Each structure stands twice: as C-alpha cells, then as structure tokens.
Structure 1
C-alpha cells in the first residue's frame, strides 16, 4: 500500500523533466529542450530534489555536474521513460499502414547490411510511417542483453551468445575465408599451416566476444597470429587488401568483399554454419506491433537466406 501511495503522489511529467536535466546537465538547456520556461523547470528540479533528498545537479565553478545519485539514475530514467511511453502509445488495435512507431534494433553491421536493409525496404512499402533505428551492439551490450532489451525491440545475433530469451530464427549462413587479390602464397584453399603462419584480422577477441568460426580455429589447435582486431565485419576486407593477412567472414558479405581488393578462398576444415536470430525481451511478446515487426524480420530472413537480397 505504501508503494501505491508514493506513486500516486508523483507526476509523470517529473520523469520527463528528470530525463532532460540528466541529459543536458543544465536547467537552461533542459528547459529549451522541453519548450518550457526556465522558472517552470526550476520548480520541477526543486520537487525532484525534495523527493530524492539530493541536489541532482551540483554547481562546480561555472558549470553543473551530476551528483553520484544522479549518475546512477541516468540509465534507469531513460528506461523508465521509454517504458512509460510504450504504455501510453499502446492501442487495442493497430494498423501498420497508419503507424508512426519507431522500432530500435541492436545488431552488427553484418546484420544491418543483410536483413536490416531488407526489413527497412519491406516496411517502407507496407508501413511508410514506421521507422527503424539500428544500433550497433558491442560485447558489453550483448552481456547485458536481458536488461537492454527491456527498452529496445530486439537484437540480431547468431545463436551461441544469448539464452533464456524468446527468439525467431532468421536465416543460416556459412563462413568463408578472404585473402588479398595480390596474395600469391594462397591458392584456392588455405592450408592448416597457412592458418597458423599468416597474420589474421579478427572481428572480436575477448573471452565473451568471438565468432564461431574463429573459436573453431582455436579448437582445432591453431593459434592465430592476430595482427588486427576490428569490431566491424564490413571493414575487414579493407584490412586484408594489399597484405598477407587472412580473415573469415560470412558468405552473405562475400559479394561486397569482392569489390574491395580481396578474393574468397576455401578453408581446410568444415566450419559450423551460423544460425542468425532475432531476440527480444518477453515483455514484448504479446505486443501486436512487435509481433508485426517479428513477422517482417522472419519474411526478410527468408529473402536473405535465398540470396535474393544481393
């Protein structure tokens, strides 16, 4: 009962004000952002200070800094505001052709240039007011996926990284190796010895961030000579061209790689295929708008899997 009484005394507009203050770190800029007068936002700040028993913004010289409590509130405030927005934007029935909803999706540049592009094209045809925001993930985002997906709509990532979250499989892909067009040391197929001796370009190289093919190379007893780590699949060919380096990329990116001074070669082992999937938080499962989006991704996955996206 006490929690209900506490919430009943709060004004949702204070959450909007708090988000602007934490983002702008200035009453003046926050007021401009919200199109409010400075005295009105100052009054909101005073109420927030009373509620939290904390100044939120502390003057340091000619500027203001967030207090330790305010720093802790920053992520929670953004998540709470987004959740509140979703609650009040929900409708009993939803017509995608009339919607202006924005879906936010985490993924890699590999996912964006393959299925992300196809999804955006399908949406533009059927729901021109619907928008997609594609956000690059990183190892920290993936490790915190269960929390991040509360305030975003999904994550495109292969199986092997996330568990205990709902998903829909999109398409399967294979791994291929690339070397420079000028590299005459390598024929049409890399040898195990060359994988050990030639320098590598890796996408990720941490305990929790890796590709399945790179992990398989190590499981075969090959310790790659890693010369470059670049957290971008599309950038890899540019680090290969004109060098002795070798890398492994997804076959769906092979058509793009061919125009970057590299050639596709075989591997001396059969790499395990990867199954790409769209993952989301369970709280979105029964949302009709989210369900429409998931169906769009599933359809796009069929297109990418057939190679028709190229």
Structure 2
C-alpha cells in the first residue's frame, strides 16, 4: 500500500471509534460533529472493506477485524504522539510528557512507588503510565519497544542491547504457614509431590526457576495457573499448595496471607530485572532523563528491604 495515498487524518477517528464503539461518544471525544465522524467511519469502511462497527440493537460491537485493529491502532497513535512531541531539549519542571513503561505486576509492585515518586518530584506535570505486559507484546519484542519508553523484565526474555539493571531478587517458595505436610525445611520430595501455583506458566514463559527444577528432574505438579504474581499468594493461603515467588514480593505479602517463606533445597539462579528500551530513544533528551531517574531508583533498591 502506498502511504502517500492514505488519509492520515483517519487515524484518530479510527482510534476513537474502536475505543468508544459509538459514533456520538467518539465525536464528543474528538470535539467533532457526528456527521463529520460518520463521514470518517464511511471512509474507513471503504478503506478496510469491513463494517468495523456492527450494530446490535441499540449498540455497536466491533467486527473481528476491528478487534484485531484496536491494539495496533492504539500503538500507532502512541507512536505518532511520541514522534510529534519530541523536543531538542527536555525540561522536567515544565514537561507534560507521558512516559509509558510496560512490565509484570511484580516489577510495579516492588519498584512502581519509588519510580512514580521520583518522576513526580522532578516532573510534576508529566504523567507516568504503568501497563501490564501482554504475551503478544512480549513475543513481538524488541520491535514492540518502539511503542513505549521501555519494559521492565528479567534478563533472558528480550533480545535488546539497551538496558539498565533496576533490581535484583531471588526465587523462594511460599506455603501456607499451617501446611502440616511440610517440615522445618523444604525437600526435593516436597517440590515433586505437593501441588503448585505458578504465574505466567506458558510454554514460552516458564520462569528460570521452573526450568532449573526440570533440568534436575523435578517436574512441578501444577494445580493452578495465574497470569499474575500478585494473585499467587492468595491461591496458596489455606491450601497445601506451594507457590513460586520473588523474595521481595513474598516478604511484602507474607503477613497478609499467613505464608511461610522457604528456601529452595537446590541452587537457583538469581533474578535480575532490567529496564529495556529501543535504540530509537538513545538520544531523546526526555528518555535520557527518565533513564537517569531509573538509575537513581535502582540504587535505592539495592537491598531486599529497599522496595518492600
């Protein structure tokens, strides 16, 4: 498709229509008249050869194509906004820039407060958006790094040479404090026979600790899978299950859920979470400032008590 033949003015109407699923609400959002937005919708339908918004009674639903376009359109709008908001200089005291960081809920639980306070203190008009990373975005990395300021992830998940180490941690096992099947120390037999709760347990997203257990011939008997580390402690409490958790998070929620924190009976590789970004932002003054803020936060998180 020849980009010169496209009407780029249709991007914002498309984004608003897919988000609002209503011509009237999308028109209000863009401060346009309903006839003007209806005309844009007609052009979009001709362009894609699809209804996009399908009427069902008094409401509209997204067509299958529109569903697939929704996230890509959002990314395109973000990229356009970042492109045209770029500045030769960056003044944090006056900037209203929106910094967008993707990551797992664990990283935001441990480091989010410190990052947000540091950004707000120096850039009171800026906005910081923490967004939970999706499997699709992770699998599209490092290309998907173009649409955000960066991602906070452990080493080994993303192929990029641009990173800043943010926090160190280690894997521990959590169990309900009244689990009578456990002795004073965890054994390899416990690892192999008791049921497990695992987070992000997909074929391509096993944690390094699970892979290490498998290498040693220990296959965890997975009873519950959750997409969130934050929900894992509640799924362990009151059961005979074991859970795999980062020590910082385990310490933060231990008393709330009545958990024991247990050492692995076999050696486990440490966790090193880093902030990863695209080389496009190497010379961006605002991004350079953000990386400086993250470096200061990382220094304060040097010990397990730093972010709990």
TM-score relative to the length of structure 2: 0.88
What residue is the counterpart of 1:309 in the other structure?
Answer: 307
Please say if 1:271 is aligned against 2:268: yes
CA contact (8 A) 2:174 2:244 kept: yes
TM-score relative to the length of structure 1: 0.88
TM-superposed deviation, 1:150: 2.1
TM-superposed deviation, 1:162: 0.9
Structure 1 Cα separation of the partners of residues 50 and 235 of structure 2: 50
Q: Deviations over 1:4-42 (max 9, x none)?
A: 7536xx3x4332122222333332222122121112223
TM-superposed deviation, 1:61: 6.1
Q: For structure 2, which runs of at least 5 residues remain unmatched after alignment? A: none
CA contact (8 A) 2:175 2:241 kept: yes
Match of 2:283 among 274, 279, 286: 286
Match of 2:107 among 91, 111, 116: 111
The ranges of structure 1 where at least 4 consecutive aligned residues each deviate by more than 6 angstroms after the TM superposition are none
What residue is the counterpart of 1:238 in the other structure?
Answer: 234
1:201 and 1:3, CA in 2 relative to 1: closer, same or farther beyond 3 A?
closer
Q: Which has the larger radius of gyration?
A: 1
Structure 2 Cα separation of the partners of residues 263 and 123 of structure 1: 35
Structure 2 Cα separation of the partners of residues 243 and 67 of structure 1: 43
What residue is the counterpart of 2:154 in the other structure?
Answer: 158
What residue is the counterpart of 1:36 in the other structure?
Answer: 32
CA contact (8 A) 2:160 2:278 kept: no
What residue is the counterpart of 1:100 in the other structure?
Answer: 96
Match of 2:212 among 209, 213, 216: 216
* CA RMSD across the alignment: 2.5
In the alignment of these two chains, the number of paired residues is: 306
1:147 and 1:74, CA in 2 relative to 1: closer, same or farther beyond 3 A?
farther
| Secondary structure of the structure 2 residue equivalent to 1:120 | helix
| Secondary structure of the structure 1 residue equivalent to 2:186 | coil
| Secondary structure of the structure 2 residue equivalent to 1:302 | helix
TM-superposed deviation, 1:234: 2.4
Q: Deviations over 1:222-280 (max 9, x none)?
A: 11121211222222222222222222211112321321201112211111001111112
1:71-150 to structure 2, matched below 5 A, reads 71=67, 73-150=69-146
Structure 1 Cα separation of the partners of residues 120 and 158 of structure 2: 30
Structure 2 Cα separation of the partners of residues 138 and 5 of structure 1: 32
Structure 2 Cα separation of the partners of residues 86 and 203 of structure 1: 33
Please say if 1:172 is aligned against 2:168: yes
1:33-72 to structure 2, matched below 5 A, reads 33-49=29-45, 56-57=52-53, 63-64=59-60, 66=62, 70-71=66-67
TM-superposed deviation, 1:197: 1.4
| Secondary structure of the structure 1 residue equivalent to 2:93 | helix
TM-superposed deviation, 1:175: 1.6
Structure 1 Cα separation of the partners of residues 117 and 22 of structure 2: 40
Q: For structure 1, which runs of at least 5 residues remain unmatched after alignment? A: none
